Amino acid sequence: MEHLRSLVLNSTYEPLQFTSARRAMVLLLMGKAEALEFDGFHFRTCTASYRLPTVIKLRRFINRPYRTQVSFSKKNVLRRDSHTCQYCGGTGREMTIDHVIPRCRQGESTWENVVAACRECNLKKGNRPLNLAGMRLLRPPRKPKNLLFSITPANTPQSHVRSWTKYLTGNR
Ligand SMILES: [Zn+2]
């Protein structure tokens, strides 16, 4: 239970941060937030058991203090793309990153030019640009605006991640 996190949304549904499940319960019990999603986990005290929210929404709007820049790295590109090959949609253990415009053609290592790719697609594409390789991207790669995904804590239950997804997409 200590490792569980809840996603906190602003009153406008904008994702703000993750907080400990315990803190989320406190915000609910104080009436400062409302619960939006549950996934079956419970928070137990000596005398009671509460459904643990995976997503809460603040009742009052707060000004976002700052936006953290997500650093560009292979790991974060794979996270942005959910470890899914951006050419064939495949997922697998051997996920690589691919420069959409190849480096030998002055393609840069940027959020907009690097995507997750499975080994097969990476080999198939080689050093060719997309049109010559006859391949296309599932979606245009962008710099994530909201880097919450990059701090998703380890050991997070899949059911938690699923309940967060709809609030985090659109903020990628
Ligand atoms: Zn692929």
Residue 48 lies in a domain: yes
Cα–Cα distance between 19 and 21 in angstroms, integer?
6
Q: Which residue has the higher pLDDT, 146 or 35?
A: 35
Whether the Cβ atoms of residue 7 and residue 39 lie closer than 8 Å to each other: no
The answer on 152 and 121 residing in a single domain is: no
- pLDDT given at position 154: 60
| Mean pLDDT, residues 78-103 | 91
- pLDDT given at position 30: 95
Protein residues near ligand 1, an ion, with CB under 5 A: 85, 87-88, 90, 118, 121
The answer on 124 and 90 residing in a single domain is: yes
The pTM of the full predicted model, rounded to 2 decimals, is 0.56
Strand 33-44 to strand 15-20: parallel, antiparallel, or no bridges (unpaired)?
A: unpaired
CA dihedral of residues 42, 48, 53, 57 (deg, nearest 10)? -170
The domain spanning residue 89 has which CATH number? 1.10.30.50
The pLDDT of residue 16 is above 60: yes
120 CA to centre of ligand 1 in angstroms: 6
Cα–Cα distance between 140 and 28 in angstroms, integer?
38
Whether the Cβ atoms of residue 86 and residue 117 lie closer than 8 Å to each other: yes
92 CA to centre of ligand 1 in angstroms: 9
Residue 140 lies in a domain: no
Domain that holds residue 86: 74-133
The answer on 151 and 122 residing in a single domain is: no
pLDDT tens per residue, range 46-57:
898 889 999 999
3-state helix, strand, coil in the chain (%, to 5): 25, 25, 45
3-class secondary structure, 51: strand
The answer on 54 and 10 residing in a single domain is: yes
The answer on 125 and 80 residing in a single domain is: yes
Residue 138 lies in a domain: no
Backbone angles phi, psi at 150, to 5 degrees: -80, -10
Residue 32 lies in a domain: yes
Residue 69 lies in a domain: no
125 CA to centre of ligand 1 in angstroms: 10
Q: Name residue 51's beta-bridge partners.
A: 42
76 CA to centre of ligand 1 in angstroms: 18
pLDDT confidence tier of residue 9, bands split at 50, 70 and 90: very high
pLDDT tens per residue, range 112-166:
999 999 999 999 999 999 999 999 999 999 987 665 654 566 677 888 888 887 8
- How many domains does one find in the chain? 2
Residue 37 lies in a domain: yes
- pLDDT given at position 147: 53
